[in-house]
Amino acid sequence: MTQEYHQLVVTESKPFVKWVGGKRQLMRELENNLPKQFGTYHEPFLGGGAVMFNLLANEPRLSCNVSDFNSDLILAYVTIRDKLGKLIESLENHSKNYHKDSVEYYYEVRKQEPKQQIEKVSRLIFLNKTCFNGLYRVNKKGQFNVPLGRYTNPNIVNKENLTAVSKTLQTEKIKISCRDFEAVLDDAKKGDLVYLDPPYQPISSTANFTSYTHRDFTEDDLRRLADLANQLSSKGCHVLLSNSNSKTVKNHFSGKRWSISKINANRAINSNPAKRTGHKEIIIKNY
């Protein structure tokens, strides 16, 4: 990496929400596939940010330009950065009420639609910490529709991590925005790294989790993604992409510049624990 190493972040910041497709389990494989040197780090499908936080733990001075299309999620990053005290107060309130009657309180909060920034974000974090599997899923109307999870003592207010995340995000070198992934083409320069982790292509008709937002990730989106990756590559960017081991994806990246490798993954999204192991995913890169 080109940035100098500095020990700036006291407590390591980690994802503050569990996100479907989160890359914590694949981190070692991804680390082994990073280019030796790169300029700015771009991640236009940020999700829980596991990869960004991991890179920042080793390289606190890294410039990051990250985004996601899910406006509730991006609002959460921005609120943790700018209004942490108020957010923690609101989460503490959720925690107190949850511990009085978890079932009644969970479903009451789930049906609410707060309009204020703090309440919106604390609701998202509260539901993420207490819902089944920590899954973020919305229906076509954008309504959160996951049932209550079975936790005895969920960590609803992880003050230490939220404080670390807030400090990390306050660094000028980190830019966060809510936008479609294609916009990264205007920002990425020669020598930068662009990590693309879109909603995965389903490999079977029963494995189609694509609803992080009210809009699905369609085949047309995949086509746009392949075009974008080729344009970034022509600009001289390092491009790294992860996806399911899907024929459709491999067909889109069959060009000479792309190398495709299979990696072992242990996905937590399948409701049947027996189907969560021995699963392959792919990593595609142009370097």
* Minimum CB–partner distance for residue 228 and ligand SAM (Å): 10
Which of 50, 121, 165, 240 binds ligand SAM (CB under 6 A)? It is 50
Where does this chain touch ligand SAM (CB under 6 A) — which range of 14-22, 77-85, 257-265, 267-275?
Answer: 14-22
* Minimum CB–partner distance for residue 126 and ligand SAM (Å): 19
Question: Count residues contacting ligand SAM (CB under 6 A)?
Answer: 22
Based on the shown chain and the rule CB under 6 A, indicate whether residue 245 belongs to the binding site for ligand SAM: no
Based on the shown chain and the rule CB under 6 A, indicate whether residue 192 belongs to the binding site for ligand SAM: no
Where does this chain touch ligand SAM (CB under 6 A) — which range of 81-89, 149-157, 169-177, 194-202?
Answer: 194-202
Based on the shown chain and the rule CB under 6 A, indicate whether residue 208 belongs to the binding site for ligand SAM: no
Which of 13, 21, 90, 239 binds ligand SAM (CB under 6 A)? It is 21
Based on the shown chain and the rule CB under 6 A, indicate whether residue 77 belongs to the binding site for ligand SAM: no
Give the integer Cα–Cα distance in Å for 94 and 212: 24
Q: Which two tokens stand for residue 63?
A: 């410039």
Q: Can you give the binding site for ligand SAM, defined by CB under 6 A? A: 19, 21-23, 44-45, 47-48, 50-51, 68-70, 180-181, 197-199, 212-213, 217, 221
